[in-house]
Amino acid sequence: MLKVFLWVVRRDLILSIRRRSDVFTALFFFVIVVSLFPLGIGPALDTLRQIAPGVVWVAALLASMLSLERLFAADHADGTLEQMLLTPQPVALLVLAKVIAHWLVTGLPLALMAPLLGLQYDLSWQALEVLIASLLVGTPALSLIGAIGAALTLGVRGGGVLVSLLVLPLYIPVLIFGAGAVEASVSGLGEQSHMSMLGAILVLALVLAPLATAAALRVSAE
């Protein structure tokens, strides 16, 4: 079972490397959105520090959504998805492997790039560390939740818009606690409670999202 899990992760990573344009599109979108706000708002450092957590988190959320529509689309088009559903291994395990691969090529780069972009907002090093930590905990939850929407809209015309409508309401708690952790660190209130809530959301998503996605894939395949 572990061998199959690692094989799915490796396969999706190789496919993502071959489709580098999709990966770079999300990263460039993240960089451009975060960088435009200081140019539009001006050099007022107090204002930039106040809006930085929300701007970075909203940009990361939207960037992670760009590739959700293609999470299962290629496998559905070439018949791989049907073979995955027929394997003796739990479908939820294979879904988790695909979500991990998706996070490795989208969420992880976003989290690693965020501190460099956060310097534009005059964030302290402590706030930047909290920003990295919140993104490392929150972006896997975004991928897990987004996989449910991608599975439900599989094969539907205009699926990208439907995915956004389905997952954006579910993303709100992650956005609130992720940005709140950085904001609390900036204001000196402490980020522990927000990070604990982010961790709880991630654990809940790890348990429930693969099962819900597997059920949605079976329905879409039929």
Residue range 4-48, pLDDT digits in tens: 888 888 888 888 888 777 778 888 888 898 888 888 877 777 888
Q: Alpha-carbon torsion 141, 144, 150, 152, what sign? A: negative
pLDDT over 90 (residue 136) = yes
193: its two tokens: 């409670």
Q: Look up the pTM and report it.
A: 0.87
**Residue ranges per structural domain of the chain:** 2-221
Tell me the average pLDDT of the chain: 85
Distance CA 102, CA 111 (A): 14
> If you search the block for the tokens 């809530």, which residue do you land on?
197
For residues 94 and 87, is the Cβ–Cβ distance under 8 A?
Answer: yes
Residue range 144-188, pLDDT digits in tens: 998 888 888 876 665 567 777 888 889 999 999 998 888 888 877
Q: Alpha-carbon torsion 162, 91, 97, 172, what sign? A: positive
Residue range 96-111, pLDDT digits in tens: 999 999 899 888 888 8
